[in-house]
Structure 1
Amino acid sequence: MRQSLTSEQLRAWSGALAADPAARLAMNAVARTSVEEVAVDRARLLAVQPSMSNRLDDWDAADQKRSGRCWLFAALNLLRADARKHLGVKNFEFSQNHAMYWDKIERANYFLEDMIELAGSEPDDRVTAFLLSNVLDDGGQWNMEVAIFEKHGVVPKTLMPETESSSNTSRMNASLRTLLRKGARLIREAIADGSALDDTDELKRSILADAHRILTIHLGVPPERFEWRWNDDDGAFHDGGHFTPREFLAKYTDVSLADYVCLVDDPRSEHPKNHALTVAHLGNVVGGEPVLYLNTDTATMKRLAAEAIVEEEPVWFGCDVDPHMEDKQGIWSADLIDYSAVYGVDLATTKEERVRYGDSAMTHAMLFTGVDLVAGAPRRWRVENSWGTEKFDKGFCTMDDSWFDEYVFEVVVRKDRLPEELRAALSAAPIVLDPWDPMGALA
C-alpha cells in the first residue's frame, strides 16, 4: 500500500533543517550564488594546471553553436588536424553543415527502413515506440560518421558554410520528425492494407523526397564537384583542381577511417571486457558498417590514447560531459565539485551504478589534443571542445586523469595499436544490446 507524506513528517524535517547551522549556511550561500560555485573545491581547481608534456593544438577551436553535432565536429577536427598539414592552413575547417546534411537524409532512410521492418508491430511496441521517440536526433557515434565520410566525402567549409538552421537545428528537426512520423504511419498503413513491395518503396521514396526538400531549404545544396584553390598561411597560392567530396577527402588527408575502432568502458558486469558490443537499430547509412564497440578497461583506453597523442595524432572520445566540470576555465576532475558537502547528503555513486540507473551516459564527443605524462603515465589531458573560442582556454579544456576513469566512456584508436586480446574481439560475434541500452546513447 502506498503511503502519502504527512504534515508531521514535513514539520519534523523543517525543524531539523532549521536547527542545523551547516544547512542554514548552505541555504544562505546558494540563495546568492550558483550551487556549482559554492560546491567547487578551489584547491582541487588550482591543482589541475593546463600545462602538457605533449600538446598538438595550435589552431582555433570550432563552434557547433546550438546544435548536437559534437560527434561530427570532433571527427572533422581529427581530419582537419591532418588536412591542415597538407594545405598549410592552420585554421582550415571542413564543412560540418555538409556532414550533417548527409547524416540527416541517410538517417531518414534508415528510420523508414526500420519502420518497414517493424510494420507488423504495434506503435506502442517497445522497440517501435523507442524508435518513434528518437527520430533524427543530432547526435551520433563513430561508425556512423565513418559511414557518412566514406559514402559522401567532405568539402571545405567555405563551399558549404553554416546556415541559421545548421547552427540552430531545433526547428528543422521538428519539421523532419513530423514528416517522418507521418511517413511511418503511412507506410505501416499501406503494408497493413496489403500494398505490394514496389508500392511501399515508392511511398518511401516520396517521403524521402520531401525530407530532402526540407533539408535543402534549411542547409543548402551540397556540392557534387567543385574547384579548390587557396592561399596558405604564408600567402602562397595553390590551384588544387577539381574534386568530388570523396576525392577531396582522399587527397588532403592521410587518415584511413576503416583503420579505426571505438573502445568503450561498459562498467556493467554482465558485459565482459575484451568483447565486442553493438546496439540494435543504431545507425544511419543502410549498408554501412554497424556500430561496433570493443569493451575494455579505462587503463587500456588511456594507454592507447596517450600513445596516439605522443605520435602526434589527436584522439576522438565520448564522455558524460557535465559532471564535475568548472565551466569558466573548462576544468574537469572527479572530485572537483562537492555537492554532498553543500547539502549534507551522500550523493556518491559508482560508474556502474550511474550507468545502470540512468544517471550517466556518453552524451558528448570531443577531441584529445594533448596529454601530460609523468613517468609515462597520464595525469591530465587537453581537450578541444566544439563550443567556440569564447569559453574556457580559447575553446580548450583541461581534464584531470581521475575524471577519465569516471566519465569517459569511449575513445577511437587505430586497430594496429590494439593488444592481442582486443584484436581477437574484432572478429568475434558482438553482444547485441537493446536500442534503449545506455551504450546506445548518442554523443
Structure 2
Amino acid sequence: MSHEITTEQLKQFNQDLKKQPASSALERAVTKNGILASSYDWHAISESDPVFSIDLDTGDVSNQKQSGRCWMFAALNTMRHDMAQKFGLKKFELSQSYTFFWDKFEKANYFYENVLKTAQQPASSREVAWLMETPQQDGGQWDMLCALIEKYGVVPQSAMPETYNSSKSNEINTTLNRKLRENAITLRQLVADNVSEDQINDTRNEMLNAIYRILTYSFGQPPVKFDFEYRDEQKNYHRDADLTPQSFFKKYIGWNLDDYVSIINAPTEDKPYNRTYTIDMLGNVVGGRSVKHLNVTMNDFKQLAIDQLKAGESVWFGCDVGQSSDRQKGIMDLNIYNEAELFGTLFAMTKAQRLDYGESMMTHAMVLTGVDLVDGKPSKWKVENSWGPKVGTKGYFVMSDAWMDEFCYQIVVKKEALPDKLKTAQAQEPVLLKPWDPMGALA
C-alpha cells in the first residue's frame, strides 16, 4: 500500500511544530550553529577528567594524518610501548609506511584471488558487487597486521619514513582501485574464455608487477637490510648493523603473535556468545593468518581489558569513534550531545539493532592505556589515539564506560589471560560469516 504525503498532513505537521517549546529559537540555533553544537552538553566534560587509577606511561602519540591506517598505528603502538620499556627509547616509532606498502601489495593479490573465486558469478551478484565497490582500502583488522608482520617483519620509521602518499592516501587509493577494477575485467574474461591456469597465473604476475611499481614510486622501496641507531633514556648510543625486517622484529619486539587473540562484543541474534567467527573474503595475505573473533559478553570483554592493563600492557581496540564524541576535546561520552532533547524525539536503538541495521560498526582502532576503577568497576578509560597531539589531552582521549558498552566492538588480548571457558571457546573452528557482516568492518 502506497502512502502519499498530503496537504492536510503538512498543515498538521506545521501546527505541531509551532506547539513545540521555543521552536523558533531552536530553529535559529540549529541553522546557525549546526546540530552537534546546538545539542552539546557541557556537563559531560566535568565527568571526563583525564585522571585514572591505572595509567600506563606510553609516551607521545603518533599521527596517521590523512590516511586510514589507524588499525596499523594502534597495533604498532602497542609494540612500540613494549619496546620503549625494554630498550629505554623516547620519541620512537615503528614504520607505518613499511607495513602500509606490503598491506596494499598483498591486498591487490588477495583481491585477484577473490575475483577468480567469483569469476563465474554475474557482475551483478552481491559478492562481485561487494568486491568491486572497494577493491582495496587503507583499513584493516588486527589479524591482518599479524599476517603482514609474520611474512615481512617490521622496521623502525628511520628505515622507511613517511612519504606524501603514506600520509595522504587518497591519490594512491584512487589509482590502485582504478587499476584493480580494470584487472578484474581481464581476469574474469580469461575465466570466461576457459584459458589455462598457467596463462591466468602469468597474467596475474604481470598485474602484480605493475602494482609493485606503483607502490614503489609512491612509498619508496621497502628496505631489505638496514642499520638501527638510537640513544636510550640515559643518552647511551647504540648501533645495530645489517638487520633485516624479520630479525629486527625478533630481536627488538620478540612477540609470538599467536599469543594474541581477537575478542569481540556483537550482541546480535546470529552470533551466540562464546563462539568464534571469521568473515568470508576478509584478509590481505593469501595463505597468511585468517581473521578470527571470539564473541563474549560485555562484562567479559571489559574484564579482559582491565586485566591486561593491570599487567602493564596496553590494549588494541576497535570502536565506532564518530558516535557521541568530541574530536577536539577528546571525549567519547553518550551524553556529550543531546539531540533527543533538541529535536523532541527519541533515538533509542540498542547495540544489536545498530549493528543489524547499519547504524554502527567498527570504524577506528586505538589503544587503551588506562582505566579508572571505582569500587573495582570501570568508570572511564584512557585512550591513545593516532590523530596527533593537538586533539584531546596531548592526543589522549577519555572514553566513558557507558560509551564503551555501546560503541566498542573489538579488543586484542593475550590468550593466556582467558579464563578456561573462553580458552576452550577460542579454540573452536570459526563460523563463516558473509563478507558484508558488520564484524568484517575495517578500522
Q: Where on the TM-score scale, by shorter chain, does this alignment land: which range?
A: over 0.9
Aligned to 2:256: 256
Residue 58 of structure 1, CA deviation:
4.3
Match of 1:156 in 2: 156
> Which residue of 2 is the match for residue 440 of structure 1?
440
SS at match of 2:312: coil
Matches within 5 A, 1:183-198: 183-198=183-198
Contact 1:23–1:344, Cα closer than 8 Å, also in 2: no
63-72 or 334-343, larger mean C-alpha shift? 334-343
Tell me the TM-score normalised to structure 2 length: 0.97
Q: How far has the Cα of 1:215 moved from its partner?
A: 0.9
Cα deviation for residue 195 of structure 1 reads 1.1
Deviations 1:330-371 (A, max 9, x none): 111223321100011111211011111100001110000111
The one-letter code sitting in structure 2 at the alignment partner of 1:338 is N
Q: Indicate the residue corresponding to 2:5 in structure 1.
A: 5
2:58, 2:81 within 8 Å by CA — same for their partners in 1?
no
Alignment of 1:35-434 (within 5 A): 35-434=35-434
Residue type of the alignment partner of 2:37: E
Distance in 1, Cα, partners of 2:18 & 2:234: 68
Q: RMSD of the TM alignment (CA)?
A: 1.3
Instruction: In structure 2, give the amino acid aligned to 1:319.
Output: C
2 CA distance for matches of 1:413 and 1:58?
17
Cα distance in 2 for partners of 1:174, 1:441 equals 20
Q: Secondary structure at the match of 1:209?
A: helix
CA change 1:254–1:312 in 2 (3 A) is: farther
CA distance in 1 between partners of 2:324 and 2:187 (Å): 46
Q: Secondary structure at the match of 1:146?
A: helix
- Distance apart, 1:313 and its partner CA: 0.2
Q: Which stretch has the larger CA shift, 5-14 or 174-183?
A: 5-14
Higher mean alpha-carbon deviation, 65-74 vs 366-375, is at 366-375
Q: Percent identity?
A: 40
One-letter identity of the residue aligned with 2:23: A
Give the letter for the 1:101 counterpart: F
Q: Deviations over 1:209-256 (max 9, x none)?
A: 111111111111110111112222332211222211011011111432
Amino acid at match of 2:355: V
Shift of 1:50: 0.9
Q: Which amino acid aligns with 1:306?
A: I
Distance apart, 1:324 and its partner CA: 1.2
Deviation at 1:31, TM superposition (A): 2.6
Q: Give CA-to-partner distance per residue, 1:99-136, whole Å, 9 cap, x none.
A: 11000000100110111121111111111111111211
For residue 430 of structure 1, what is the amino acid of its counterpart? P
| Helix, strand or coil at the partner of 2:63 | coil
Query: Any idea what the Cα deviations from partners look like across 1:256-305, whole Å, max 9, x if unmatched?
Result: 21100010011102211000011001000011121000000111111111
Distance 2:402 2:22 in 1: 29
Stretches of structure 2 lacking an aligned partner (at least 5 in a row): none
Q: Aligned-pair distance for 1:419?
A: 1.6
Deviates more, 1:244-253 or 1:23-32: 23-32
* Matches of 1:195 and 1:225, distance apart in 2: 40
- Preserved contact between residue 264 and residue 296 of structure 1 (Cα < 8 Å): yes
Q: Which structure 1 segments of 5+ residues have no match?
A: none
Task: Tell me the SS of whatever aligns to 1:78.
Answer: helix
Aligned mates of 2:430, 2:94 — CA distance in 1: 33
Partner SS state of residue 348, structure 1? coil
Aligned length in residues: 443
List per-residue Cα deviations over 1:373-407 (Å, max 9, x = no partner). 12222111100111011111111000111111100
Deviation at residue 45 of structure 1 after TM alignment? 2.3
| TM-score normalized by the length of structure 1 | 0.97
Q: Secondary structure at the match of 1:318?
A: strand
Q: What amino acid maps onto 1:172 in structure 2?
A: I
For the residue of structure 2 that corresponds to 1:21, the secondary structure is coil
SS at match of 1:205: helix
Asked if the contact 2:274–2:426 (Cα under 8 Å) also holds between the matched residues in 1, the reply is no
